[in-house]
């Protein structure tokens, strides 16, 4: 049974979410003490987190960063804030998706199921040790890590999905549509800007490995991972 952790201070909404999630067989736990979110998260060990932005004491972005320091489980924001920058900040702080209140419960459930499938189910890969190497850089798809030489960095699920597709087709154009199809089950739910945010985050992760121009943008079409960093060694 998948366990879902709810970080939301609207008790009415929490009750509705729990009733809905229980109908689909999920186990849930809602935060009771907002000063101890991390401790409650670690004790419950959930498979997925639903997280509001406006919370007592610290906001959702803060708690998203705290959780990302100890877990790669999917995190979905549920927030009444509908601005572009709010969604960008959520993704930049480690979220996997952002749902604006008021939301359609069926769409929210579809996104929850989609994240769980990618993280733990049929889309998570059949080989538990699958990895991919290009130009001396190795992606561990299951452990969500990227290594070059002695340097190793952690990735989010979505960042790993993007790099997986780009590295499998190293040197070849990967269209934006292909990346959207690869990452999300239904493109209708995705803002084009969301992909831009994730590509920016992937570039930052590559830069942390000393790769500054390996991910090239093909204007109006997509992206290409070109292993030119091998020539610099």
Last residue of a domain, one of 50, 85, 120: 120
Do the domain assignments include residue 63? Answer: yes
In this predicted structure, the answer to whether residue 123 has a pLDDT above a threshold of 70 is no
**Interatomic CA distance for residues 74 and 97, integer angstroms:** 8
Same domain, 108 and 201: no
Same domain, 90 and 147: no
pLDDT digit string (tens) for 96-109?
Answer: 889 999 989 999 99
In this predicted structure, the answer to whether residue 195 has a pLDDT above a threshold of 90 is no
Same domain, 136 and 207: yes
- β-sheet bridge partners, residue 137: 134, 148
**Interatomic CA distance for residues 51 and 5, integer angstroms:** 8
Same domain, 48 and 106: yes
The residue-averaged pLDDT of 146-172 equals 88
The answer to whether the CB of 32 falls within 8 A of the CB of 76 is no
What confidence score (pLDDT) does residue 129 get?
55
Give the least confident one: 18-32, 46-60, 109-123, 207-221. Answer: 109-123
Same domain, 116 and 183: no
- Whole-angstrom CA distances from 177 to 15, 97, 187, 229 are 38, 18, 8, 26
What confidence score (pLDDT) does residue 187 get?
43
What confidence score (pLDDT) does residue 124 get?
52
pLDDT digit string (tens) for 53-109?
Answer: 999 989 999 999 888 877 778 999 999 998 888 888 888 888 888 999 998 999 999
Same domain, 99 and 38: yes
Cβ atoms within 10 Å of 140's Cβ, excluding its own: 16
Last residue of a domain, one of 120, 142, 171: 120
Do the domain assignments include residue 66? Answer: yes
Same domain, 47 and 90: yes
Same domain, 110 and 135: no
Same domain, 93 and 151: no
Do the domain assignments include residue 233? Answer: no
Structure tokens that stand for 92 in this block: 């930049």
Domain CATH for 173: 1.10.10.10
**pTM check: above 0.85:** no
Share of the chain above pLDDT 90, in %: 43
What's the total number of domains in the chain? 2
Q: Scanning the structure block, which residue is given the tokens 């999300």?
A: 184
In this predicted structure, the answer to whether residue 26 has a pLDDT above a threshold of 90 is yes
What confidence score (pLDDT) does residue 185 get?
52
Last residue of a domain, one of 88, 120, 152: 120
Question: Domain range holding 202?
Answer: 131-225
Q: How many residues does the chain have?
A: 233
Do the domain assignments include residue 217? Answer: yes
Domain CATH for 58: 3.40.50.2300
Q: Scanning the structure block, which residue is given the tokens 């067989």?
A: 25
Give the least confident one: 14-18, 25-29, 76-80, 136-140. Answer: 136-140
The answer to whether the CB of 229 falls within 8 A of the CB of 211 is yes
Same domain, 97 and 135: no
Do the domain assignments include residue 125? Answer: no
């Amino acid at each position: 049974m998948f366990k879902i952790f709810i970080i939301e201070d609207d008790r009415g909404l929490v009750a509705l979410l729990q009733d809905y999630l229980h109908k689909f067989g999920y186990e849930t736990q809602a935060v009771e003490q907002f000063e101890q979110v991390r401790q409650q998260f670690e004790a419950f060990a959930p498979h997925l987190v639903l997280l509001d932005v406006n919370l007592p004491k610290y906001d959702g972005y803060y708690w998203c960063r705290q959780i990302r320091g100890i877990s790669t489980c999917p995190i979905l924001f549920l927030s009444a804030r509908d601005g572009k920058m709010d969604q960008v900040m959520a993704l930049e702080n480690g979220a996997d998706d952002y749902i604006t209140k008021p939301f359609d419960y069926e769409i929210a459930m579809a996104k929850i199921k989609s994240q769980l499938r990618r993280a733990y189910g049929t889309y998570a890969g059949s080989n538990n040790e699958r990895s991919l190497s290009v130009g001396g850089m190795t992606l561990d798809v299951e452990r969500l890590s990227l290594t070059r030489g002695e340097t190793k960095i952690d990735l989010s699920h979505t960042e790993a999905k993007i790099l997986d597709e780009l590295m499998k087709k190293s040197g070849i154009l990967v269209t934006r549509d292909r990346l959207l199809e690869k990452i999300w089950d239904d493109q209708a739910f995705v803002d084009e800007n969301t992909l831009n945010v994730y590509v920016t985050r992937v570039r930052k992760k590559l830069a942390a490995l000393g790769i500054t121009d390996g991910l090239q943008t093909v204007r109006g079409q997509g992206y290409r991972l070109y292993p030119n960093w091998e020539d610099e060694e």
